[in-house]
Structure 1
C-alpha cells in the first residue's frame, strides 16, 4: 500500500473570485504534486491551444513567441490562427490563450470574424471546462480601443469559461505589457500543471545549434534590429496642382538577407522632427544631455529619447491624465469626465506635446518626469509596392505625406514627413519586413484577380501586377483605382496604362471623385461593372481590397454583397453565405487600416 499526497484546495465559499480560486487551486496542485512520486510514474505536460486573430501579423508574431516559450517550459503548445479554427474545437480544449487584434471600428480581423460569429450564435454549448487568457492589441487613438478582445473575453466568460488572469489591452507600445503578461501566464501554467512536464524531447524536436543559426539568419533584421537601407530613389507621384503629396521610394536591400513576397509590408523605424525636439527642450529649459531611462528603454540622453524613442506629436487620454494629475490642471482634469469625451477627443486631435507644455506650463520639472509620461514611438508599416522577382535587391513603398495645420502650427505625420523632408537620396533608413501571409496571390497562376485599391492602396497591387508578369502568369488582372483627380493624382499612371495597353492589365477602371459634379468612388465603378464582376467571380476570381478600413473597405464590402445578390439572383442571406465562402476559399482578402 502506498501513501498518496493530499493536495489542499480553496473551498467554494472562500472570499475569492472564480478566477482567483482557480489560480490558487492550480498553484497548490502544482506545488504539492512536485513532491516525490511513488514508483516510476510518467508525468505529462499541459496541452495549451495558442490562438491568434491577426490583421497585419503582429498578433501572430506574439503568438509564435509565446508558443515557443511554452514549449521550452515543457508544455504541449499548439499554435493556430482563428481563421482555421472553430468554436467547437475550442470547446474541446482545457487551456487556451487568445491573442487578438482589433481594427477599424472595433471589429475582429477579417480571418477571425467567422469564428466569432459562430461563437455568438444562440445556444452555443457552455465552455465550463475551458481555462483561458486574452491579450488584446489596439490603438488608443481609435474610439473602440481593443473592442474585439474585450468582446471575445466577455463572450468566453459568459459561456462559463474560467479566466486564468485578467485581460490585458495593449496600445502601440507592445513589448513591456506583453512581457509582463507572458511571465504571469507562464507562472500560472507552471503552477496549474498537476504533474511535471515530460522531457522536452518527448514534446518537441530539440533545437539544434544549426536550427538556431538558420533562425537567426532568417530573422537577421527585424523590428528590434532593423536593416539600414540606402534610399536610392525618391520621386513625387502627384502633380504640383494636387492638394496632397504622394511619394514613391526605392530602398536597396542588397546583401541584407532580407526576403519578402508581394503583399508584404515594409516596417520603417521613424524619427521625430529635430526642430520640434529642440523646441520642447527649450520650453523645459533642458540642455538635451540629461540622462533618462524610461520603461523599456536603455539609458540615453533626453534629446535622443525625444528624437528616436518617444511619441511627441500625438496626445492620448492616458498622457492627459498623467499630466493633469501631476500639475493639478483643472481644465484638463475636467475633460477626463465621461460626459466630456467628445471635447477631450477634439482637444487631443488638435494638439501635440508642445501644445500641452505651452498651455499648461510648469508641470514637468525634470527630463525623467517627461520621458516617464510619454509612450514609445512605434514603427510604421507601408505596403510594399514592388515585386522581389521584378525588382531584385529593392523594396519600393508608396507614401502619402500627411500635412495639416491646427492652432496656428504646421504639423505632419512623423514618418511621412521624415521621408519627404529629411531623408535625401543616399541616406539610410532603418527598415524590416513585416510578412502578410493573408494577402498573397493565388497559387494558381491562371486564376483571375480583382484588385480594389484607391489612393496608396494601389501599392500591393502594383507589386502583384509586376509579380504576375515576372512569373508569366496567364490569369486575368482587373484593377479598380480611385483618387481625387486624374490630372494630378493618378498614381503610377504611365505604368498602369502601359500594362492596360499591352493586355497584362485586362481591365483598368478608375474613379476620380472630384473630376465631375457628383463624386464617384471605386464602389460606384464596381456597381457599374456588376455583371462582369459577377462573371469573374463565377470564373474563380480572387478579390483583394487595400486601403482605408473605416469607410472605403466597408463600402466596397457592401457593394460586393449587393453585386452577388443582384447578379447571382440571391437573397441577402444567400449572398452573405456566398461572400463568406469566398473568404473560406481564400478568395476574398483585405489589407485595411
Structure 2
C-alpha cells in the first residue's frame, strides 16, 4: 500500500495552510480499494448556537460527512420542527449552553416541544451530541446534557457518548468528530470515487482564524468616559489593511489576549520556577514556561476543575472539603475573585515542576467584543467599545486580561492578534424600511453604533429607536455627540436614556421601556425588530420581563405567546454575555 505524504509541523506554514495542504495531498494520493463496501448515510446535522461557534463546528462536520460520501442536511434547531426527528435515522447535534444552563435564544421553543408530554417517539433515531459550554459557569453544558438525556428518554440511541467542550473547543471537537466519523464508517475502508471528487480542496475565504489570527494595528484609542468617572471605557479602532478580513454589522471582534507580565512574574515567584523551563503544550509544541504563562495559559480565573486537580496534587484537605456538594456556596465565593496566584500563595507546595503547572492550567480563551463599526461606513477598519476592568480583591490590584492589555500595554500602531467571529443571529432586517428597537446599556451600545452607521451608509429609511443607560450622563454617556447628531438629523428616531445615579432612585433601561410601553408595543405591531446587547445575568432578564409586562399591559394578549412569535419570526435578537 502506498503511503500518503503530509506536511510536517516544522514546515513553514501556518496551521490553516498546513491543514489545507494535507487535505489536498490526502485526496490526491488516496488509493483506497474501489471494491470495498460503502454505505452512505443520510445525516441531519443540527446546531443550537448563540455566538456562532456551534454553527461553525456543525458546518465543519457537515462538510466532512459530505466528503466521505454521506448526505448531510444542515439546520439550526430554532427552525427545525421536532416532528422531523421522528423520521430521521441519524442526527448529530452541536448544542451550546447559554446563560444559566439555558438553550440559546430561539431554541427554547424546540426544546419545550421536545420535552412536552406529546413529543414523538424516536426509536429509529441514532444520534450524537457535542455540548458546548464554559466551565466558569455553574451549569456547564447543561442544555447539551439535558438534550442528550431527553433524546434517550424518547427512545433514540446514542451512536457515541456525549462529549462536553469548554471554551477551548478544538481538542474535544476533534475527538468527538473522529469518533462520530468512525461510527458511520460501516466498512472501515474506502471512500467511493464520488466522495473523492467531493473532497477536492477549496481554499478558505480567509486564513485568519483563531488558530492563525491577523496581527491588526491599533490606529485609534480614545477614552469615552470623563476623567472623573468611576470607570473607564475605551473606543478602539484596528486596521484590517492587507488582511481581506470581512465582517457585517452585528459580528464580533475576537482578540487573542496576553496575560500581564507582572502577574506572570508573581506566579513564577510563588512556584519557585524561573520561567526558562521548557514545557510541552498540546498542539503548540515546546516553549518556555514564561511564554506559555503569558500567551497560552489562563491564570486569572479559577474553576472547580482546577481546584480539584490542585487539591489532589498537594493533598490539600481544606480544598478537598471545599469541593463537597454541601460546600457549593462557599466554593462559589472562593472562586469569584481569586486567580492562580491566590491558590499558589494560600496553599503553597503543590507544584513540583514546570510541566505540572502547565498541565494544570486551562487554555487562555479569546475575548469577543461586539463590533461597534460598519464596514460600509468604516472601510478597512474594525471598532470595539471596551470597559476597562480594574478592581482590588484579597490585597491585590486586579484587572481584566484583555481590557488592561488594551489600556496599559498596547500603544498606537502596536499590533494584536485578531479574527472575526461571525454572528448571523444578530443582523439588521433585510428590509431597510423596517423599524428597529435597540436596547444596549453600557458597552452594550457597541453593535447599535454599528447598526446606526450601517443604516445611514446604506440609506435605509426604517425608524431607529435606541435605549441607552449607564451611571451618569455627565461622565458615562458613550458616543453622546454622535447619537445627538443622529437624533438631530432624524436618523435616530428616538433616544431614551436611563442614567442610574443621576437621581435619588435608580432608573434602568427596562424602566424606560415600561414608561413608553404603549409606543413600544405600537412599534412592535408595525413590524419592529428588537435587539438587546449587554449583561446576560441581570439586564437581559430584566429587559425580557419588561417586554412581557408591556405586551400584556398594552396588547391585551398572551405575552408569552407573543414573545415566542417574535423569536420564531426572527424579530427578537439578543447578544448577551
User: Aligned pairs, how many?
Assistant: 545
How far residue 196 of structure 1 moved from its aligned partner, in angstroms, is 7.8
Deviation at 1:199, TM superposition (A): 3.3
Q: Where do residues 101-112 of structure 1 align in structure 2 (5 Å cutoff)?
A: 101-112=96-107
Q: Which is further off, 176-185 or 442-451?
A: 176-185
1:113 is the counterpart of 2:108? yes
Alpha-carbon spacing, 1:439–1:274, altered in 2? closer, same or farther (3 Å)? same
Partner residue in 1 for 2:544: 557
Distance 1:205 1:561 in 2: 52
CA deviation profile, 1:146-174 (whole Å, cap 9, x unmatched): 11111111111111111122212211121
CA contact (8 A) 1:230 1:252 kept: yes
Take 1:306 and 1:557, find their aligned partners in 2: how far apart are those partners? 40
> Given the alignment, which residue of 432, 442, 452 partners 1:455?
442
In 2, the alpha carbon distance for the partners of 1:330 and 1:296 equals 34
CA displacement, residues 539-584 of structure 1 (integer Å, 9 cap, x when unaligned): 11111111111111111112112222221121xxx32222222222
Question: Which residue pairs with 2:181 in the alignment?
Answer: 186
Q: What whole-Å deviation, never above 9, does each CA across 1:405-424 have from its counterpart, x for those lacking one?
A: 11100111111111111111
The answer on 1:91 being equivalent to 2:83 is no
SS at structure 2 position matched to 1:558? helix
- Counterpart of 2:149 in structure 1 is 154
1:62 aligns with 2:49: no
Tell me how far apart the structure 2 counterparts of residues 363 and 240 of structure 1 sit (CA, whole Å): 44
Cα distance in structure 2, aligned partners of 1:249 and 1:93: 48
Q: How does 1:475-514 map to 2 (within 5 A)?
A: 475-514=462-501
Corresponding residue for 1:446? Answer: 433
Corresponding residue for residue 47 of structure 1: 42
Cα 1:592–1:584 change in 2 (3 A) is same
Alpha-carbon distance between aligned partners in 1 of 2:303 and 2:124, rounded to the nearest angstrom: 39
Deviates more, 1:481-490 or 1:166-175: 166-175
**Is 1:472 matched with 2:463?**
no
The counterpart of 2:192, out of the listed 182, 186, 199, is: 199
1:230 to 200, 217, 222: 217
User: 1:73 deviation in Å?
Assistant: 2.2
2:106 counterpart SS class: helix
CA–CA distance in 1 between the matches of 2:526 and 2:191?
52
1:48-447 equivalences in 2 (<5 Å): 48-191=43-186, 199=192, 201=194, 206=198, 208=200, 212-213=202-203, 215=204, 218-447=205-434
Q: Aligned equivalents of 2:455 and 2:121: distance in 1?
A: 48
Mapped partners of 1:52, 1:205: distance in 2: 27
Please give the alpha-carbon distance, in whole angstroms, between the structure 2 residues aligned to 1:569 and 1:116.
27
Q: 2:556 aligns with which of 565, 569, 589?
A: 569
Determine the C-alpha separation between the residues in 1 that align with 2:67 and 2:507. Answer: 55
Rounded to whole Å, the distance in 2 between the matches of 1:369 and 1:358 is: 17
Q: 1:91 to 1:197 in 2, by over 3 A?
A: farther
Q: Deviations over 1:168-194 (max 9, x none)?
A: 221112111111121112111114x7x
Tell me, yes or no, if the aligned pair for 1:499 and 1:505 is still in contact at 8 Å.
yes
Moved over 4 A (4+): 34-37, 195-198
Report the CA distance shift for 1:536/1:182 in structure 2 as closer, same or farther (over 3 A).
same
2:573 maps to which residue? Answer: 589
Match of 1:31 in 2: none
Q: Distance in 2 between matches of 1:58 and 1:298?
A: 25
Q: Assess, with a 3 A threshold, how the Cα gap between structure 1 residues 197 and 539 changes in structure 2: closer, same or farther.
A: farther
1:72 deviation in Å? 2.0
Task: Give TM-score scaled by structure 1 length.
Answer: 0.89
* SS of match in other structure, 1:509: strand
Give 1:340 shift. Answer: 0.9
Task: Report if aligned partners of 2:222, 2:235 keep a CA contact under 8 Å in 1.
Answer: yes
Provide Cα deviations, 1:113-153, integer angstroms capped at 9, x if missing partner. 11111111112121111111111111111111111111111
Aligned equivalents of 1:398, 1:152: Cα separation in 2: 35
Distance in structure 2 (CA, Å) of the matches to 1:350 and 1:499:
40
Question: What displacement does 1:285 show?
Answer: 2.4
- The normalised TM-score by structure 2 is 0.92
Whether the 8 Å contact between 1:53 and 1:82 is mirrored in structure 2 is yes
Across the aligned residues of Structure 1 and Structure 2, the Cα RMSD in angstroms comes to: 1.8
Q: Distance in 1 between matches of 2:343 and 2:425?
A: 41
TM-fit CA distance, 1:111: 2.2
Distance, in Å, in 2 between the alignment partners of 1:204 and 1:500 is: 57
Q: Following the alignment from structure 1 to structure 2, what is the Cα–Cα distance between the partners of residues 312 and 198?
A: 45
CA contact (8 A) 1:126 1:159 kept: yes
Paired position in structure 2 for 1:16: none
Which residue matches 1:10?
none
Aligned-pair distance for 1:70?
A: 1.7
For structure 2, the 5+ residue unaligned runs are 1-32
